[in-house]
């Protein structure tokens, strides 16, 4: 029999222990669950979680087992690139007969990133016939390119002091100011946009606080057991909704936009984008970004009257935000995420009375799919990218399918690549003084002379290919389909489009130069002989080569070659003149340089 006093002590201790257990349980429930939290707090929590989810998916983009293997090893590659363009698909007028479909690129490569070595041998093929060959070689800090059909040597540059090199090429001060001194080929671009945990938390807090400080608690509500669908998966979720008027929603958006204008984290990322685009310096991207925000604020302010209902709803399952929906009378935005370990899914969609747009990213262990889809005026256009990878004993294969498709046309590009991990290369190509000319080591005159020769012969080769094998008309048709160029009006006075005029002129514009010797002038003649009709002697030291777009006179080229051979020690300056009516190049003026006494 327990004494009464001792029994009371046991009861009191038992009650205290029970209270401690209950308190600890409640604390754990509060920390690890959403119990006891207000609808406003939970809305803020799950709305802000979008930042974390999207950043998690972004950090995983581009990561794969195959990519990790090739970053750490030497490897060889065999790659084939093919295009297929279908015009009028699915109709009786369906057409695949174009010159682009008959071409393919075969590329063989050797890569050792750890030792800054990369060699790529590129063949343009048509019906098993080689049309052109280009070789690229990185050997340490030297990068070179060789047009194997035309030259025996690589045209190479040191990846340093690039402004000085381009100055010798004749670039003006404004262009030089926009050029980097060194190009970082292996720069990890993705790392520039990743957020630290502190940055993510600050972004969430800043913008969630705007909502908390400007919306009363009764504007928030909760619904349970809401069925949603993400990536064709049905999921039971809790929904937390903020319901306000159009005017209240616009005021929130304006406050957030004002915060973005002074958000150092976001503005720093904008600056980092500009640092990756050194040629894009005409105007600060940050200034343009802020200007766009100001324009948006102005447009919202002008139309910021209305009591129509606007909603933001976040859906969560197992304390993970899966869907966010923003709705008002004018538009609807959906953000769907599945940041799972083996599968990542993100879709952002926008819909109003005129257009529907979808951006979808899905990655599984086997493949990655990215698509952009636009539906307007009942017409659909979609860009898609599929990347599939397989690994077999440290060797791998990669297949990339990029496509554009609308209601009438389809363009697809297929890249198939075999990757083999090796201990060394059987025939490693090295850069030396015998197989390369390093432009960085040349003075201005020999540098410009070599570039003039290369430009002339490459231009002639490109013209030959685009005339006989890869029709420019087919290429421009594809670019128009993609929306990369606009429909062009034919110039009535010359019967050609702006694009054709640009192409015609560029053949001759690259031939211009100063202090050109015999070989450079002979290359120039070879490049223009298909359009050369007459030579006009202006002065004793000046010749005008008259050109026409659709005519040539072979005897004129022959006589000019004879003249240059007889005056083989002379130097010339070459410049083009244009027809004032048509804008086409009509003459090339050769001025013989007088020898100084």
* pLDDT tens digits, one per residue of 479-532: 777 776 555 544 445 556 666 777 788 778 878 888 888 888 888 888 888 888
Q: Which helix (H) or strand (E) holds 75?
A: strand 74-87
Main-chain phi, psi angles of 264, to 5 degrees: -65, -30
Cα separation, 491 vs 558, whole angstroms = 33
pLDDT at 64: 77
- pLDDT higher than 90, residue 121: yes
Q: What angle do CA 533, 536, 541 make, to 5 degrees?
A: 135
- How far CA 132 is from CA of 121, 154, 597, in Å, comes to 11, 15, 46
pLDDT at 104: 93
pLDDT at 120: 94
- pLDDT higher than 60, residue 32: no
Task: Give the number of C-alpha atoms closer than 13 A to the C-alpha of residue 369, restricted to the C-beta side.
Answer: 13
Q: Give the least confident one: 75-89, 172-186, 253-267.
A: 172-186
Average pLDDT over residues 454-459: 81
If you count DSSP H runs as helices and E runs as strands, how many of each does the chain have, helices first? 14, 23
Residue with tokens 């966010």: 324
Q: Give the least confident one: 148-152, 432-436, 519-523.
A: 519-523
Picking from 467, 496, 499, 470, the residue whose alpha carbon sits closest to that of residue 85 is: 470
CA 370 to chain centre: 13
Strand, helix or coil at 115? Answer: helix
Cα separation, 363 vs 124, whole angstroms = 32
- pLDDT higher than 70, residue 171: yes
Average pLDDT over residues 164-193: 72
Main-chain phi, psi angles of 113, to 5 degrees: -65, -35
pLDDT at 516: 83
Whether 117 and 111 have beta carbons less than 8 Å apart is answered as yes
Indicate left, alpha or beta for 537 from its phi (over 0: left) and psi (-120 to 50: alpha). beta
Average pLDDT over residues 59-67: 76
What's the pLDDT band for 35 if we cut at 50, 70, 90? very low
Picking from 211, 261, 197, 262, the residue whose alpha carbon sits closest to that of residue 46 is: 211
Task: Give me the DSSP letters along 406-440.
Answer: -SSEEEEEEEEEEEEEESS-TT-----TTTEEEGG
pLDDT at 5: 55
Cα separation, 231 vs 235, whole angstroms = 10
Beta strands in 294-343 (DSSP E): 309-317, 320-327, 331-339
pLDDT at 106: 95
pLDDT at 357: 93
pLDDT at 189: 61
Picking from 35, 33, 29, 45, the residue whose alpha carbon sits closest to that of residue 315 is: 45
Average pLDDT over residues 190-196: 70
- pLDDT higher than 70, residue 195: yes
pLDDT one-digit tens code per residue, 36-62: 467 888 888 888 888 888 887 877 776
What's the pLDDT band for 356 if we cut at 50, 70, 90? very high
Q: What is the pTM of this model?
A: 0.73
Query: In angstroms, what is the C-alpha Rg of the chain?
Result: 33
- How far CA 161 is from CA of 166, 170, 276, 479, 586, in Å, comes to 9, 15, 18, 36, 38
- pLDDT higher than 50, residue 203: yes
Mean pLDDT (the chain, rounded): 82
pLDDT at 283: 64
- pLDDT higher than 60, residue 101: yes
Cα separation, 540 vs 353, whole angstroms = 71
- Pairing type for strands 436-438 and 154-158 reads parallel
Whether 95 and 114 have beta carbons less than 8 Å apart is answered as no
Residue of higher predicted confidence among 521 and 305: 521
- pLDDT higher than 80, residue 220: yes
- pLDDT higher than 80, residue 162: yes
Main-chain phi, psi angles of 302, to 5 degrees: -65, -25
Cα separation, 493 vs 93, whole angstroms = 32
- Pairing type for strands 344-352 and 355-363 reads antiparallel
Residue with tokens 């409640």: 26
Q: Which helix (H) or strand (E) holds 117?
A: strand 117-126
pLDDT one-digit tens code per residue, 246-292: 888 888 888 888 988 888 888 888 887 776 665 545 567 788 888 88
What's the pLDDT band for 119 if we cut at 50, 70, 90? very high
Average pLDDT over residues 218-247: 90
pLDDT one-digit tens code per residue, 375-404: 998 889 999 999 998 888 878 899 999 999
Residue 396's contacts (CB-CB under 8 Å, 6 or more residues apart) are: 66, 69, 70, 389, 390, 418, 419
Whether 428 and 149 have beta carbons less than 8 Å apart is answered as no
pLDDT at 535: 86
Residue 196, token pair as written in the block: 């630290």
pLDDT one-digit tens code per residue, 326-343: 888 888 989 999 877 678
Whether 39 and 217 have beta carbons less than 8 Å apart is answered as yes
Residue of higher predicted confidence among 75 and 88: 75
Cα separation, 450 vs 355, whole angstroms = 53
């Amino acid at each position: 029999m327990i004494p009464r006093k001792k029994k009371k002590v046991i009861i009191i201790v038992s009650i205290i222990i029970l209270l401690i257990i209950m308190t600890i349980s409640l604390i754990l429930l509060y920390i690890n669950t959403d119990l006891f939290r207000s609808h406003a707090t939970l809305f803020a929590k799950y709305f802000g979680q979008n930042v974390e989810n999207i950043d998690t998916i972004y950090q995983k983009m581009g990561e794969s087992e195959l990519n990790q293997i090739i970053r750490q090893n030497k490897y060889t590659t065999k790659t084939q690139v093919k295009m297929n363009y279908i015009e009028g698909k699915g109709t009786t007028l369906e057409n695949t007969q174009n010159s682009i479909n008959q071409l393919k690129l075969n590329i063989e490569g050797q890569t050792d990133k750890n030792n800054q070595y990369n060699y790529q041998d590129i063949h343009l093929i048509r019906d098993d016939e080689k049309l052109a060959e280009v070789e690229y070689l990185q050997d340490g800090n030297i990068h070179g390119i060789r047009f194997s059909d035309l030259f025996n040597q690589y045209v190479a540059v040191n990846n340093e002091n690039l402004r000085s090199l381009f100055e010798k090429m004749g670039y003006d001060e404004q262009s030089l100011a926009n050029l980097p001194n060194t190009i970082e080929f292996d720069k990890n671009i993705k790392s520039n946009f990743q957020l630290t945990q502190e940055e993510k938390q600050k972004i969430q807090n800043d913008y969630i606080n705007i909502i908390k400080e400007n919306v009363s608690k009764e504007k928030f509500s909760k619904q349970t057991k809401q069925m949603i669908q993400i990536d064709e998966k049905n999921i039971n979720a809790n929904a937390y909704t903020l319901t306000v008027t159009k005017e209240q929603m616009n005021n929130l958006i304006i406050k957030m936009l004002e915060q973005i204008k002074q958000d150092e984290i976001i503005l720093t990322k904008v600056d980092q984008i500009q640092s990756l685009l050194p040629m894009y310096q005409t105007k600060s991207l940050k200034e343009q970004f802020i200007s766009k925000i100001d324009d948006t604020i102005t447009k919202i302010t002008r139309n910021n009257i209305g009591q129509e209902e606007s909603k933001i709803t976040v859906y969560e399952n197992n304390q993970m935000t899966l869907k966010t929906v923003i709705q008002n009378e004018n538009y609807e935005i959906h953000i769907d995420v599945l940041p799972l370990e083996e599968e990542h899914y993100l879709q952002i969609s926008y819909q109003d009375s005129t257009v529907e747009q979808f951006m979808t990213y899905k990655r599984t262990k086997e493949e990655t799919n990215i698509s952009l889809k636009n539906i307007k005026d009942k017409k659909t256009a979609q860009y898609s990218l599929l990347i599939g990878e397989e690994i077999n004993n440290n060797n791998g294969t990669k297949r990339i399918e990029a496509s554009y498709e609308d209601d009438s046309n389809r363009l697809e590009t297929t890249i198939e690549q075999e990757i083999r991990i090796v201990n060394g290369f059987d025939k490693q190509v090295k850069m030396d003084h015998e197989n390369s000319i390093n432009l960085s080591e040349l003075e201005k005159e020999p540098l410009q002379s070599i570039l003039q020769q290369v430009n002339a012969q490459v231009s002639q080769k490109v013209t030959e290919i685009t005339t006989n094998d890869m029709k420019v008309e087919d290429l421009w048709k594809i670019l128009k389909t993609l929306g990369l160029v606009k429909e062009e009006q034919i110039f009535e006075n010359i019967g050609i489009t702006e694009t054709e005029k640009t192409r015609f002129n560029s053949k001759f514009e690259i031939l211009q130069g100063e202090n050109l010797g015999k070989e450079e002038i002979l290359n120039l003649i070879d490049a223009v002989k298909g359009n050369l009709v007459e030579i006009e002697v202006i002065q004793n030291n000046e010749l005008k080569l008259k050109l026409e777009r659709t005519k040539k006179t072979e005897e004129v080229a022959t006589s000019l070659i004879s003249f240059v051979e007889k005056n083989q020690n002379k130097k010339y300056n070459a410049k083009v003149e244009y027809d004032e009516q048509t804008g086409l190049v009509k003459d090339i003026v050769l001025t013989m340089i007088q020898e100084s006494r």
